[in-house]
Structures are given as C-alpha cells and as structure tokens.
Amino acid sequence: MDLNEQLNMNLNGVPQFVSIRAEKAEAPLLVYLHGGPGDAALPLVKKYNKQLEQHFTVVIWEQRGAGKSYSPFDGAVTIEMFLQDLDVLVTDLLRRFKQRSLYLVGHSWGSILGLRFTQSHPERVRTYIGCGQVVNMKKSSRIAYDYALAHADRKSLEKLKTIDCGYQSENWLNDLLFVTQQVVKHKGSLYGAKNYNRLILPFLFSKDYTIGDLIRRQKGSLQAIQSLWQEVMQTNFEAQTRFEAPVILIEGRFDSHVSATLAKDYFDRIETEKRFYWFENSCHFPQWSENEKFNQLMCDLLG
C-alpha cells in the first residue's frame, strides 16, 4: 500500500497544505514541524528523509502563511495560534489513522512548537524529537552574534558593533538578517557551506513547487519573521525540566545558528526519559546534513 496524499486542510479557519506519505498500512504517524518561522520544507523532507516513509506515515505540514500554505496574515499572529493549528492537525490525524499518539519532530522554530505541544499534550506524543532545539532564544542570539563577531572581516565587524542582538531596535529585522547571513557565510549554519544553495536546489527541482510557490515561500518566510520574531525572542524552556513524554535531542556539533551548546546543557538538566545524539558532521540541519544517520535513528525508535 502506497499512501500519497496532498491536502488543503482547514485548521482553525485557515487552509493549510499537508502532505501524507507512507509505504505500508498502519505505520505509526510522524509529524514534521519545519523551521523558520515560515521556512517551509516539503521538498527537503521528501528528498533527504524519504526512507522514513518505509516505516512511518510521514506528515509534512506547511504551517499557516508558509510555502504552499501562503496567504498574507490577517491581523496579528501568535505562537499560540500555531499551537492551536497543530492541535487540530494532530487530533484529526489520530482520529483518521486510529492511533493514540504520534512521533513529533521539531526543527529550529518547529522545535518551539514541538516542545510546547509536548508540554501541553504529552498523552498524544509518543516521542518528541528536537533538532536544532531552541532553549533560550535570547542566549542563543547572543551566541550567534558572538560567532559572527569572531569571524567577521573589518567591514562586517564595524557593522556588527552597531547591532543590538536582542533585536529590539528600530532596525531589528535588518540586523537579524545580517547576523544570520554572517553565521551562514562563516559555516556556522549549514555544515561545510558558506550559503544555503544546497537547501535551495531541491525546491527549484521539486515537482511539488511551482514558480509561484517559490515566490510565495519567500514572502511567507519574511512575513513570519516580521510577525513572530519578537515573541520568538521570549522563548525560554530552561525552567521546564520534566516531561510526561520521552524527549530526544539531535544536535549538530557545530551549530552556531541556534546554539547546540545550550541544547546540550539543557538536556543534561532534564529529569525525565530522554536521549541525546551529537551529529559530528552537522551544524543547524542534522536531519539533512547527515540524513542517513538521522533516518536510521528514527527507524530504530520502532525497535
């Protein structure tokens, strides 16, 4: 049995694109929460993590306003709204596939949604898997900024010295984009690369993405950052050290985009069932930089 569905689901009144793929009936559900905010990932998951479809019913959700779910935000949006969307999605999937809980993979921004959902609904999370896990965004932003400072040329250094890495100034968006650009340029985000070309090409060659989708993806990414980043900066899980579902963290050893050091320090303080994996040839994208290792680790969860 091959399941290959592409749906526009109504989640809290907003049509959102969902891909559901599996190679066998009754495979456990695995929901992938992309990063960003607004950084849709359908072609990347299908290219690098296709092996998961042999063992899981893989659900790729392009969140409100992102990628194939793009539409201009109607008023203010909050993290809570995305959590409510996820709640509806999970409820629908569990009912349809007659399962009691599912695997939840959260990457970067998606790890904020994933860990918060696991806090609130542990009975529906079989295991939570965080990649590039956000722990304390203010501390992480400082670490990314310090990385940029340490690697900057003279011209970039002068600009960096004018930037508030708490991103509260009038020019916070340009400042954020510049610091991120510097981290990427100096190989602190995508392992061994100075740009994201390797992650862009799968979109250009994807059968799922039209030219219009590519343009909408760019618009969606920018509007999500503009709308949500100030709330993202308030994220801090440090006081939460007990979970009622198992937690797995997968971290690229050289991630300076969202600090892997903070993630490991946090993991060490978690008091409930947990596992941690270093990916030695990865930065912020272990699920794609070392995809075979990641896929095997996911499949091993099933015993």
CB-count burial class (<10 Å; 0-12, 13-18, 19+) for 95: exposed
Question: Which two tokens mark 80?
Answer: 């809570």
pLDDT tens string, the chain, 303 residues long: the values are 799 999 999 999 999 999 999 999 999 999 999 999 999 999 999 999 999 999 999 999 999 999 999 999 999 999 999 999 999 999 999 999 999 999 999 999 999 999 999 999 999 999 999 999 999 999 999 999 999 999 999 999 999 999 999 999 999 999 999 999 999 999 999 999 999 999 999 999 999 999 999 999 999 999 999 999 999 999 999 999 999 999 999 999 999 999 999 999 999 999 999 999 999 999 999 999 999 999 999 999 987
The strand order across the sheet containing 247-252 reads: 3-11, 14-22, 57-62, 29-33, 102-107, 125-131, 247-252, 274-279
* Helical axes 211-232 vs 172-185, angle rounded to 10°: 110
Residue 221 lies in a domain: yes
What is the span of the domain harbouring residue 246? 3-135+187-300
Q: Give this prediction's pTM.
A: 0.98
Residue 182 lies in a domain: no
Question: Which two tokens mark 107?
Answer: 């990457």
Question: What is the SS3 string spanning 220-267?
Answer: HHHHHHHHHHHHHCCCECCCCCCCCCCEEEEEECCCCCCCHHHHHHHH
Residue 114 lies in a domain: yes
Question: Which two tokens mark 282?
Answer: 């990865």
Residue 269 lies in a domain: yes
CATH number at residue 247: 3.40.50.1820
Residue 271 lies in a domain: yes
For the chain, what is the domain count?
1
